[in-house]
Structure 1
Amino acid sequence: MPSPYVRRRQLAAEIRKLRESRGLTTDGVARLMFYNRAKISRLENAQVRPDVGEIITMLETIEVTGGQYDRLFQLAREAAKKGWWDKYGVSMGPRQKLYADLEYNADTVREYNQTLMPAVLQAPEFISALVELDECQGKIDSVPERMADARMRRQSELLRPDGPSYETVLDESLIHRLAVPPQAMIAQLRHMIRVVSEEERITVRVLPHDTRVPGGFLPMSSFYG
């Protein structure tokens, strides 16, 4: 299945290009379709999952026909699809859902983590320890068991036979400074060692705290791509 998020971005760009080629503003399209401007704007910025019926109405309203209509209709169908991550609701936050979406059809995933073990490589014991840390900060919205299930499912998807290659660089400080019980951290490190040992396409590197990074300023935050 193609990444629905990537398809939404592609569809958004196509719709904006179509609107502009017709000399229409977002207000103009909204008036023609009897929608509010915000709905058209959200669609053009890929902020919402498209409704296929609404896309059909838009294409017919601005007189798109033939092969172009067929291509955009198919793109809308793919952009509107739900993935396995959607069934977890709030137990899988928006960022985790986006990552799962992008990973599903990716060839390669690379990331750098300054503050937390990658969710996609977390061990069950470590996840439980993180939940306890969250609870110390106040009431949490998600169901801990469902959150753990979601992260383990994301991990199984990453490790599927046709899954992407994955490379992460971890800052050494997170191993020492994250206030989880020692046994939880031990279980996490052993888990990552096992995964890396069994899967050639999974690479985990640790950046020692005293390593000098040449070429410019240090990364301001973790990043993913």
Structure 2
Amino acid sequence: MSARDGLDADERHLLVVDDDDRIRDLLKKYLSRAGFRVTAAADAGQARKLMSMLDFDLMILDVMMPGEDGFSLTKSIRARPGRQTPVLILTARGLPDDRIEGLALGADDYLAKPFEPQELLLRVEAILRRAGPRPVVQRRLSLGPCTFDVERGELSRDGKPVRITEAEAQLLRTLAKAAHAPVDRLALAPDATDATGRAVDVQVTRLRRKIEADPKNPRYLQTVRGVGYMLAPDE
């Protein structure tokens, strides 16, 4: 079965993370021709920024990258709350111990370089079949008189635009992905230098002033004690 024979590949969004420009471009072109939507990143830092803004159906991660490696990134992905995105480890390190480490950290599959593109495609399709149908994510969330467009990152109130910063938009996107479930406050700002999460608290306070009828008693952007925050849109 090919990606176009039942997996709705055109709706499946893949993230390729590899510091080798040639391999990254090759994978992007090959998987795009197979019908997938593909986004690429050169390192873990870029990948994290993309993950904070976009939903991916599968991630293909190189292990040997400058800075944070693929194993560390896989471990942090598995520690994130909410839906667990499948991970395929792609690396020149094909030793059994490396494969065991990658799988133990939560990777769904492991493919050693050099590899045949067709084998990579078959492994991607197999992982996606095991993952099941893509969850339906609401494009617009109703927050009383406010509406948040998840894809555009735009907030409106009574049909009129409400100005929010990019950081506030990303925070709302992350909460929207796990609507009605608590999200750790530190997970809301994975790239923040403030390890206390204080910057997130400030953003939440500002958003409540824009969304809530009574910011001191929030209905939609709730605090979950001991955990973080939860977005509770109208059903």
TM over 0.5: no
Higher fraction of helix: 1
TM-score, normalised via structure 1 length: 0.32
Pair member with larger Rg = 1
TM-score, normalised via structure 2 length: 0.31
